[in-house]
Structure formats: C-alpha cells, structure tokens
Amino acid sequence: MSSAKFVYDGKEIELPIITGSMGEVGVDISKLRSSTGAITMDLGYGNTGSCQSEIAFIDGEQGVLLYRGYPIEEMVGASFLDISYMLIYGHLPSQDQLNKFRKDLDRHQLIPENMKKILEGYPNTAHPMAILSSMVSSLSAYHPDTPEEVENNIVRLMAKLPTICAFSYKQSVGQPHIYPRSDLTFAGNFLHMMFATPCEPYQVDPVLEEALNMLLILHADHEQNCSTSTVRMVGSSGANLFASIAAGVCALWGPLHGGANQEVIEMLEMIRDDDSNYQKYVDMAKDKKSGFRLFGFGHRVYKNFDPRARILKVQADKVLERLGINDPLLEIAQALEEVALKDSYFVERSLYPNVDFYSGIIYRAMGIPTNMFTVMFALGRLPGWIAQWRELHNETSKRICRPRQIYTGEPRRAFVPLDKR
C-alpha cells in the first residue's frame, strides 16, 4: 500500500493512501491526531472524505455521474422505481423483483388516518418542507424501530413520502386530499394526487409523466452533498431511518442546497418585472463589480457541462412544446439559455445551464408552485438518502461522526462571581 509522508514539529509519519475503484485518491488521516496531536482544518469539508461508498460517483472535471457504476445518460427511459431499487439494494432488479417492489409500495402508500389530523393542524401558510420534515419524523411513532423492521420501514417510507408531499400541497391550497392509485406509475400517481379533484376526472399527461420520472431519477443521488452527509451523520448516532431522513429534509430546505431551482424562478420574476430586459442582467453577470450572478448557470462540482442538464434540456423542450404555455418567465428562460450556450463569456467559463435551471422551468410549466420545488427535490433524492443510510447501517464497524474544531475563543481565565462584576 502506498503512503504519504507528513512532517510536523520535526516528526515524520506515514499516512496510508486509499484508492477508489474509479481512481480517486484519498490520504487516510485517521491516525493523525493520535500520532501528532494536530488535526486538519477544512471549512465546508470540500477536501475531506467522510466515508467510503459504493453508491454514486462524480467526476466534476469530465462531467460524469454514475449510480452504482451506471452512467446517468443510460438511464433515460428507465423507471424511477427501477433506479430506486438499484440504488437501495445495490443491483438492477429482475422483472419479478421489480414487480414485488412495486406491490410492496402499493400496499404501504396510505398514511395512518390519524396522521392526517397532524397534517390538518398546520396553517395553510406553512411551508411544505416544514410539514414534510415533521411528518417524516412522525412516522417513527407509527412504525417500530427494531432490527426486524428496518427493511419494511424502507419500503414504508418510499411508499408514503409521495402521499405526504401531495397531501401537504393540497393542504396549502385548501383542497381535499386525493388518495393514491395503484394502477398508475410512481410519477403518474404523484401527478394524480397533486392535481386531481373529486369534481372531475384527471388524465395524467404522458409527456409530463415522462418528464417527472426523469427529474426524479436525475435527483436520486449525488454523492456526499449537504443533505446526504446529514443523513449519514445523524444515522451514525444510531438514529432510525425516519429521524435520519427528516434531518436530511431539513438540510435540503436550506437555500444554498435545495432552494437553487426556486431561486431561478425568483430571478426570472425579477427580470420580468424589469420590462423583461434579460440582456441587462446578462451584462451585469459579466461585470464583477455588479455583485450580481445568474442563478441556474454553472455548478460547484461540475467544471464541465452538468450531465443531468443535457438530459433535462430535452425534457424541458418536450414539456414546453406539449403544453404550448404563454408564460413570460419561460420566454425569458429560453432567451437566457440561448445566450449561455452561445456567448463566449459563458462558454469559456463553462457557465452552462444546470439541472436547477431546467428543473425550475419544467416544474413551473407543470403547474407546481415555487414553494413545492424543494419538496420535489426531496422526493427524487429519497432513494439516495435511503441507500446511504442503509449502507451505513449495514457496516460492521461503524463509529459516530464527531468532527473536531480549532478553538478561537478566550484563553483560560478566572470566573468572576456575579457580585464582583
């Protein structure tokens, strides 16, 4: 095994090198503090590997995303349940395995009726992510946290989350809850629960169903991001599946993580309110002194084109053509997209439209309100979160996550009693 040398305070130690299956190299510093008394400092953990995982691989420089070794581009046409099974259980299912998985989910789609009373207790103005996180956590009260029930709880959560998401939307718009249908696909059933009413039949549009299915697949996992690492950190304490996923939902809620596609729509609204003068904002984005940036362009991880965005562009074009929507925001978005794909400033800096740009456009075209965008993200990311939690849960040697810190407060000093201050 190769190693790296670390010299500190005149002492030299060797640190093992860990190499991943795709050639990633990591320096194992697990013995650094015990050997030297020093720790590493890495704000935001951008250079820190917190685990070894078999679930997802990203090469940001080359624009590569793999789920269990399968390229994301090859999943076009697959079903979300097919990909979910593969992420969670580690292999592509046979037809019989997929059929059983689907039947198990169908059987667990309903939430306990008295849970609806919890849901109905929230005001109509409550953010859907607040409702989602609390409802997921509440499932712990209904389903036993025992080793024998772990696999059953995985199925329960996969089955019930779409129902909870759709019910929270119906609650916010003051409409009656629509119960799930087992004869529809995962994506089709969700659209049915979102947009059907008791007054008239609702026909699932196959173009929207295909687009939503692809959106869910493209968001299913993305390695150790903020919410996924939160699920793992909470899970490392021995917390159950529901509590760990609820924590992930809360992390995703943050505007720097799951709120990016919502920011895209809010930016487009700002441009619309400024006489739709998109060129003004393109020029501002090029001017560093302006402090303005276009949301939905470029990616922190992908230094090339986001592979998910290539797929979503096709879906966005299909949805807009199918619906024939006359929406100023979507027209501005299309104009910005054309600029970004042709303007040398954006091309040279790889500031291409990303997955948040296209997902925001598609969700708006579907009629999904802006405050539900992050909920949609959570729905897609669920199988990845479950897979990561399950991988951690099944490890034979686990330890609780406990980062260190560099203390920068006052040095040791004498305490002053209240009467002498």
- What the chain holds in terms of domains, given with CATH numbers, is 3-66 (2.20.28), 76-395 (1.10.580.10)
Could you tell me which residues come within 8 angstroms of residue 225 by beta carbon, excluding any fewer than 6 positions away?
A: 257
Residue 380: pLDDT over 80: yes
pLDDT digits (tens, 9 = 90+) for 260-286: 888 888 999 999 999 999 999 999 999
pLDDT digits (tens, 9 = 90+) for 397-418: 889 999 999 999 999 999 999 9
CB 152 within 8 A of CB 240: no
pLDDT digits (tens, 9 = 90+) for 1-33: 689 999 998 889 999 999 999 999 999 999 999
pLDDT in the model for residue 1: 63
For the full predicted model, state whether its pTM sits above 0.85: yes
pLDDT digits (tens, 9 = 90+) for 222-264: 999 999 999 999 999 999 999 999 999 999 998 888 888 888 8
**Integer Cα distance of 330 and 323 in angstroms:** 12
pLDDT digits (tens, 9 = 90+) for 143-202: 988 999 999 999 999 999 999 999 999 988 989 999 999 999 999 999 999 999 999 889
Question: Annotated catalytic sites, by residue?
Answer: 299, 356
Distance of CA 190 to the CA centre of its chain: 18
> How many CB atoms lie under 10 A from the CB of residue 173?
9
